[in-house]
């Protein structure tokens, strides 16, 4: 028994989409034997049998006159249900953020140490990294004295995978013999094409958020 294509023309899976000889397509119930279908007229377009229409039926290997009643959208082949998808609206921080392009923050930078607590307030602010700064916070241990810091900060939490999703995770600061000499919590939001970070003052003036 033939089955509809990957995109069915009807909720009834016994219905198939047939090409009409005169042009266009028709969705009709396929549960009819080829032996019960007469061939189209010699012109290959018309049918002499009343209430039929000439269609190309690959199962019958010929053009046949198909009963129009078998294509009734009410009793035979109701249209498929519409499938609609909606994207989750992005939160405000995905357009209301501070853009940071400071190249000294990049993990490859060996610049003179700076003091991040002078740049970030006690209350978190949303930051997007871009340009020479890289596009996101480092997610693996950064050697000390990189990215303009003695204590190099890197994100250890999970990243949000869905657009609009926000997660909270820990930032660790590498120093001396401890890869997490001190730490603080931040939030990260997936803005579909980039990430934004809710950053506040690091625990110490010598600590800095590093980027890649």
The pLDDT, as a whole number, for residue 5 is: 43
The span from the first CA to the last CA of the chain, in angstroms, equals 57
pLDDT greater than 50 at residue 156: yes
The pLDDT, as a whole number, for residue 3 is: 40
CA dist., res. 188 & res. 178, Å (int): 24
CA dist., res. 125 & res. 174, Å (int): 23
pLDDT greater than 90 at residue 169: yes
Whole-number average pLDDT of the chain: 88
pLDDT greater than 70 at residue 155: yes
Q: Is 162 exposed, middle or buried (0-12, 13-18, 19+ CB in 10 A)?
A: exposed
More confident: 148 or 7 = 148
Q: Name the residue ranges covered by the structural domains of the chain.
A: 15-71, 92-209
Q: Which residue has the tokens 């480092």?
A: 138
Q: Which residue has the tokens 């009834």?
A: 12
Encoding tokens for residue 12?
């009834």
pLDDT greater than 50 at residue 2: no
Encoding tokens for residue 123?
């209350």
What average pLDDT does this structure show over 124-143? 95
Q: State pLDDT tens for residues 44-103.
A: 889 998 899 999 887 888 899 999 888 887 788 888 776 566 677 899 999 999 999 999
């Amino acid at each position: 028994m033939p089955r509809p294509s990957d995109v069915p023309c009807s909720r009834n899976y016994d219905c198939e989409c047939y090409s009409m000889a005169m042009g266009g397509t028709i969705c009709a119930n396929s549960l009819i034997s080829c032996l019960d279908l007469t061939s189209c007229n010699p012109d290959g377009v018309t049918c002499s049998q009343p209430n039929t229409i000439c269609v190309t039926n690959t199962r019958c290997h010929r053009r046949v006159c198909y009963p129009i009643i078998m294509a009734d959208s009410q009793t035979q082949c109701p249209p498929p249900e519409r499938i609609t998808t909606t994207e989750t609206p992005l939160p405000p921080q995905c357009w209301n953020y501070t853009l940071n392009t400071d190249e000294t923050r990049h993990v490859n930078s060996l610049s003179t140490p700076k003091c991040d607590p002078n740049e970030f307030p006690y209350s978190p602010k949303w930051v997007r990294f871009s340009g020479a700064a890289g596009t996101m916070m480092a997610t693996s241990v950064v050697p000390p004295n990189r990215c303009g810091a003695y204590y190099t900060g890197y994100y250890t939490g999970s990243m949000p995978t869905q657009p609009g999703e926000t997660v909270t995770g820990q930032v660790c600061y590498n120093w001396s013999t401890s890869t997490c000499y001190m730490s603080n919590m931040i939030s990260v939001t997936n803005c579909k094409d980039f990430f934004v970070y809710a950053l506040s003052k690091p625990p110490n003036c010598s600590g800095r958020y590093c980027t890649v």
